[in-house]
């Protein structure tokens, strides 16, 4: 983290422009160099350096002093400079400022230089205005990344004057100005040990212990201290304790989400805070409709970190309103939303339809991370959306260089899992093959195995890469530091090996060693085969029990000596043995509907004709 060390000699410039509170102090030839006031508490700002002259500020309950050439500083009596105003007259003019117009204009400024230039033209600078200016500087600087302030801003006299005002008189600041200034300076990476931050934090602690901070300010202070110190600091526990004593009805939607973020930072104490979280989850149902896309994303992220699976009504309601905001999420926000729904297992047809429209319209401009999240969502929830899959296939063909190896693996998995070949399948797999040839060694072993396995499921057999993945070196990388290879990886390897035997007889490369093979594809974590419809499977199972007399006479997912998985059944006594006659007896099962009977008849004709009954 880059830490700011602000310029210590505050007023070096020969033309330090300040209107009213920012007075123009012009250079004059001094008869001697003034010594720095030793009892000045602003050591972070002021230091001795050889200059044409030195300007000293001595704060004693806001009394003002000015420089007289060659003499000591004397209190101001009358308007020695026509543009000079006392600091203690600032707050008196707050009501004369058009606050809405000020903040609107401030929000339109796009650089720190513009913000500083704007406030230098103001006749008065109340603490609320100064805090707002710092906050805006923080916002515009953070757009370019999480970096500290550039040198030209640090050395800007107006910026230094802003900081000086907050350092010297923190007790005179309003609660909002105090916590806003602290938040902005922390985000700008000011040195935590500087007297500026130490003074502000000390004042915040003092007001916190007295119980003088409002809900919104408590939330801002809590998040600021998490950044400055750590979630385990004692003062944060005091903030959470005070927030627990407040009525949730007094919280704005922004405050509720800020509270989630604070508790998210203390995730290791989630059990301790769970009763409070339950209250927040229940109350949040009433504010979901008022949340912005950004706040929705942050709330869902916090719910994931805090593992609030029991807050299902809140998650469902968030899903309902997320649908309305799909086009308005940033790429990062949409990725986090989908990650949360994957985590909680939530999906509905309206969300799928909204994603279809969004991905189809903007697939060539979407961030690769968002594309991979959308595909992971489809894969986990078994959503066969041809619009999404086709659009993503086109995106990969056009912009394959933007995707990382892990993202490519995640992107390709749904095609195999959902058994879908996009219209541009030839171009897609040609591009994929080129990427693999070029960057094979950059793919994580498990991601590469998952990718090649997905290709084989849709009969795009990766023959050119089988020799590499069956090689002992790759298998050793795949195993890593574990004592043995996990069952899922062994099952994927086995299916690829069987593919080379059954579908690619021309493959003459290395074989998979028996110790890496499995005899059954039933894995505890997931199915290696196309998932069957659960309700149809139950209907067929009930019909077969009725037909054959007991469950023990049939089985599913049986691996034959020919390496294919089939359904197997053996006939009990009293049943005819010819497949056609057995299939005809299905119609006698009164527990089955007519469509199921027909499906079962056709299926049994196919299965029973392949096995010895």
Per-residue model confidence as pLDDT tens digits over 357-405? 999 999 889 999 999 999 999 999 889 999 999 999 999 999 999 999 9
- For residues 227 and 138, is the Cβ–Cβ distance under 8 A? no
Alpha-carbon gap, residue 261 to 267, rounded angstroms: 10
Mean pLDDT of 580-585: 44
Q: What is the pTM of this model?
A: 0.71
Least confident of 40-54, 232-246, 382-396, 527-541: 40-54
Residue 358 corresponds to which tokens in the numbers above? 């969004």
C-alpha distances in Å from residue 395, one per residue of 367, 388, 399: 10, 10, 6
Strands 74-75 and 554-559: unpaired
Better pLDDT: 129 or 334: 334
Cα Rg for the chain, rounded, in angstroms?
35
Secondary structure element (H or E) that encloses residue 379, with its range: helix 368-380
End-to-end Cα distance, the chain: 73
Mean pLDDT of 90-95: 43
CB atoms inside a 10 Å sphere around CB 384:
13
Mean pLDDT of 434-461: 92
Alpha-carbon gap, residue 204 to 210, rounded angstroms: 10
Residue 40: band (very low, low, confident or very high) from pLDDT cuts 50, 70, 90 = very low
Indicate the DSSP class of residue 19: S
C-alpha distances in Å from residue 244, one per residue of 250, 332, 477, 540, 560: 12, 31, 50, 55, 63
Dihedral angle sign, alpha carbons of residues 533, 539, 545, 551? positive
| Per-residue pLDDT at 546 | 85
CB atoms inside a 10 Å sphere around CB 206:
12
How much of the chain exceeds pLDDT 70, in percent? 71
Mean pLDDT of 218-244: 88
Phi-psi domain of 459 (left: phi exceeds 0; alpha: psi -120 through 50; beta: other): left
Reduced to 3 states (helix: H, G, I; strand: E, B; else coil), residue 558 is strand
Mean pLDDT of 75-80: 32
Better pLDDT: 540 or 41: 540
Secondary structure element (H or E) that encloses residue 506, with its range: none
| Per-residue pLDDT at 559 | 61
Per-residue model confidence as pLDDT tens digits over 137-167? 888 887 666 566 777 888 788 888 888 878 8
Per-residue model confidence as pLDDT tens digits over 162-184? 888 788 878 888 898 899 889 98
Burial zone of 107 (CB within 10 Å; 0-12 exposed, 13-18 middle, 19+ buried): exposed
| Per-residue pLDDT at 409 | 94
Strands 65-66 and 15-16: unpaired
- For residues 303 and 291, is the Cβ–Cβ distance under 8 A? no
| Per-residue pLDDT at 340 | 95
Is the pLDDT at 334 greater than 80? The verdict is: yes
Indicate the DSSP class of residue 346: -
Reduced to 3 states (helix: H, G, I; strand: E, B; else coil), residue 574 is coil
* Short-list 429, 380, 441, 353, CA closest to 405: 441
- For residues 493 and 516, is the Cβ–Cβ distance under 8 A? yes
Reduced to 3 states (helix: H, G, I; strand: E, B; else coil), residue 66 is strand
Mean pLDDT of 415-426: 92
| Per-residue pLDDT at 262 | 93
Alpha-carbon gap, residue 353 to 361, rounded angstroms: 12
| Per-residue pLDDT at 487 | 87
Residue 70 phi, psi dihedral angles, 5° rounding = 80, 0
Look up tokens 């290791």; give the residue. Answer: 268
Alpha-carbon gap, residue 153 to 6, rounded angstroms: 9
| Per-residue pLDDT at 123 | 74
Is the pLDDT at 69 greater than 50? The verdict is: no
- For residues 274 and 264, is the Cβ–Cβ distance under 8 A? no
Indicate the DSSP class of residue 568: E
* Short-list 556, 510, 549, 537, CA closest to 600: 537
Mean pLDDT (the chain) is 76
């Amino acid at each position: 983290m880059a830490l700011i060390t602000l310029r210590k000699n505050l007023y070096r410039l020969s033309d330090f422009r300040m209107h009213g509170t920012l007075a123009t102090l012009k250079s004059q030839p001094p008869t001697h160099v003034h010594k720095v006031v030793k009892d000045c508490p602003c050591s972070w700002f002021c230091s001795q350096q050889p200059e044409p002259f030195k300007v000293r500020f001595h704060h004693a309950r806001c009394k003002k002093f000015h420089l007289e050439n060659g003499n000591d500083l004397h209190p101001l009596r009358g308007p020695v400079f026509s543009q000079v105003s006392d600091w203690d007259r600032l707050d008196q003019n707050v009501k004369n400022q058009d606050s809405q117009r000020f903040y609107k204009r401030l929000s339109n400024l796009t650089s720190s230089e513009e913000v500083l230039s704007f406030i230098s033209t103001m006749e008065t600078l109340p603490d609320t205005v100064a805090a707002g200016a710092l906050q805006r500087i923080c916002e515009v600087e953070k757009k370019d990344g999480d970096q500290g302030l550039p040198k030209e801003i640090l050395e800007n006299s107006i910026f230094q004057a802003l900081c000086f005002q907050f350092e010297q008189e923190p007790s005179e600041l309003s609660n909002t100005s105090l916590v806003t200034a602290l938040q902005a300076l922390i985000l700008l990476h000011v040195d935590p040990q500087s007297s500026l931050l130490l003074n502000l934090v000390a004042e915040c602690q003092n007001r916190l212990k007295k119980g003088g901070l409002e809900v919104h300010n408590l939330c801002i202070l809590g998040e600021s201290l998490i950044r400055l110190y750590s979630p385990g600091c004692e003062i944060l526990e005091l903030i959470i304790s005070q927030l627990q004593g407040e009525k949730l009805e007094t919280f704005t939607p922004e405050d509720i989400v800020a509270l989630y973020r604070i508790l998210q930072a203390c995730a290791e104490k989630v059990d301790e805070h769970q009763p409070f979280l339950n209250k927040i989850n229940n109350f949040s149902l009433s504010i979901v409709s008022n949340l912005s896309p950004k706040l929705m994303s942050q709330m869902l992220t916090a719910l994931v970190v805090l593992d609030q699976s029991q807050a299902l009504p809140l998650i469902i309601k968030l899903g309902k309103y997320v649908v309305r905001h799909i086009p308005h999420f940033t790429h990062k926000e949409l990725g986090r939303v989908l990650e949360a729904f994957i985590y909680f297992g939530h999906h509905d047809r309206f969300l799928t339809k909204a994603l279809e429209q969004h991905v189809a319209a903007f697939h060539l401009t979407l961030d690769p991370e968002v594309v991979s999240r959308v595909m992971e969502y489809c894969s986990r929830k078994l959503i066969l959306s041809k619009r999404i899959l086709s659009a993503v296939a086109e995106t990969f063909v056009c912009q394959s260089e933007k995707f990382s190896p892990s993202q490519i693996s995640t992107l390709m998995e749904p095609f195999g899992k959902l058994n879908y070949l996009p219209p541009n399948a030839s171009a897609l797999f040609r591009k994929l093959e080129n990427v693999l040839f070029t960057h094979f060694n950059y793919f994580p072993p498990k991601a590469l195995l998952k990718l090649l396995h997905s290709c084989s499921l849709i009969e795009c057999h990766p023959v050119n890469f089988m020799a590499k993945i069956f090689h002992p070196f790759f298998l050793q990388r795949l195993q890593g530091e574990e004592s043995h290879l996990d069952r899922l990886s062994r099952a994927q390897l086995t299916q690829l090996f069987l593919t080379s035997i059954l579908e690619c007889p021309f493959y003459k490369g290395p074989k998979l060693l028996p110790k890496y093979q499995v005899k059954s594809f039933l894995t505890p974590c997931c199915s290696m085969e196309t998932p069957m419809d659960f309700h149809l499977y139950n209907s067929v199972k009930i019909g077969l029990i009725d037909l054959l007399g007991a469950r023990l006479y049939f089985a599913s997912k049986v691996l034959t000596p020919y390496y294919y998985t089939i359904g197997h059944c053996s006939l009990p006594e009293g049943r005819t043995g010819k497949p056609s006659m057995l299939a005809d007896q299905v119609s006698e099962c009164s527990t089955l509907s007519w469509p199921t009977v027909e499906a079962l008849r056709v299926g049994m004709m196919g299965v029973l004709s392949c096995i010895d009954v």
